């Protein structure tokens, strides 16, 4: 197929960043639906096979009559700032050199504000003073999630990072100039002569990129109590 079409298959996650917003949205929705159908072929109550409707928007158990609908797990993704710097972190699974905003799943019974406060405290040991909602984005990896993006300001004078190495590989404060330079890099994957990789940021399609760009344009967010 690759020879006939003069193309090549690439990992779906990488393909999303090469498409325009409309095509990427369609592709991520299709992938999420296909994965959901594959994981919900049997009823959790009766154990019998479920059947999908023509549109693929739900599955029904003929035995128990339960209707199953696709769901997304809420995830908070937060760009933390101390007013003049922003905090970025990386996991060991990230591409070399890439740093991003903090992210984590919302727990049962939590509000958005509580989830942001907990995740920031758990991952870097900081206390959120104020936060502001920014935007949201569907993200199909590893399973369908609703990314809820926020800006957060930490309490004055409390900026010492305590990295939770069970969740993160590294975290650090970055200046406005450092972040601006990283946004301008054309080839973030390029390995330098000394074997290291330059500091770079998530691609434009990722909501983390939007958060970081917003912070660059306006380093401090409005005073909203957490």
This prediction has a pTM of 0.86
Q: Return d(Cα 159, Cα 206) in angstroms, integer.
A: 26
pLDDT of residue 203: 86
Average pLDDT over residues 112-128: 97
Which tens digit of pLDDT belongs to each residue from 37-73?
999 999 999 999 999 999 999 999 999 999 999 999 9
CA distances from 88 to 13, 63, 85, 179 (A): 21, 50, 10, 10
Helix (H, G, I), strand (E, B) or coil at 17: coil
pLDDT of residue 5: 82
Average pLDDT over residues 125-146: 92
pLDDT of residue 187: 60
Residue showing tokens 């999420």:
32
pLDDT of residue 219: 65
Calculate what percentage of the chain has a pLDDT beyond 90: 66
The number of angstroms, rounded, from the C-alpha of 162 to the middle of its chain's C-alpha atoms is 22
What is the DSSP pairing of strand 145-154 with strand 73-81? parallel
pLDDT of residue 182: 92
The secondary structure of 141-200, three-state, reads CCCCEEEEEEEEEECCCCCCCCCCCCCCCEEEEEEHHHHHHHHCCCCCCCCCCCCCCCCE
Q: Look over the chain and give the mean of its residue pLDDT values, rounded to a whole number.
A: 90
pLDDT at 186 > cutoff 70: no
Which tens digit of pLDDT belongs to each residue from 187-204?
656 666 776 778 899 988
Residue, of 14 and 167, whose pLDDT is higher: 167
CA distances from 180 to 86, 176, 213, 214 (A): 12, 6, 8, 11
* Residue 177: partners with Cβ closer than 8 Å, 6 or more residues away: none
- Phi/psi class of residue 31: alpha, beta or left (left: φ > 0; alpha: ψ in -120 to 50)? alpha
Which tens digit of pLDDT belongs to each residue from 100-117?
999 999 999 999 999 999
Q: Please report the domains of the chain, with CATH numbers, ordered by start residue.
A: 2-68 (no CATH), 73-188+197-217 (3.90.79.10)
Helix (H, G, I), strand (E, B) or coil at 29: helix
């Amino acid at each position: 197929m690759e020879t006939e079409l003069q193309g090549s298959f690439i990992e779906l996650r990488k393909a999303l960043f090469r498409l325009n917003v409309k095509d990427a949205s369609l592709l991520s929705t299709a992938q999420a639906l296909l994965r959901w159908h594959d994981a919900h072929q049997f009823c959790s109550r009766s154990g019998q096979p479920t059947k999908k409707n023509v549109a693929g928007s739900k599955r029904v158990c003929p035995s128990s009559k339960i209707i199953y609908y696709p769901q997304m797990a809420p995830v908070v993704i937060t760009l933390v700032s101390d007013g003049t710097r922003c905090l970025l972190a990386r996991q060991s699974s990230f591409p070399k050199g890439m740093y991003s905003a903090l992210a984590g799943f919302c727990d049962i019974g939590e509000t958005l504000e509580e989830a942001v406060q907990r995740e920031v405290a758990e991952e870097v040991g900081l206390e959120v003073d104020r936060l502001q909602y920014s935007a949201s984005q569907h993200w199909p990896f590893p399973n369908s999630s609703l990314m809820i993006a926020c800006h957060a300001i930490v309490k004055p004078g409390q900026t010492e990072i305590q990295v939770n190495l069970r969740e993160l590989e590294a975290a650090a404060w970055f200046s406005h100039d450092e972040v601006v330079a990283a946004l301008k890099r054309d080839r973030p994957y390029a390995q330098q002569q000394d074997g290291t990789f330059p500091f770079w940021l998530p691609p434009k399609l990722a909501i983390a990129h939007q958060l970081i760009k917003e912070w660059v344009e306006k380093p401090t967010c409005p005073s909203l109590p957490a």
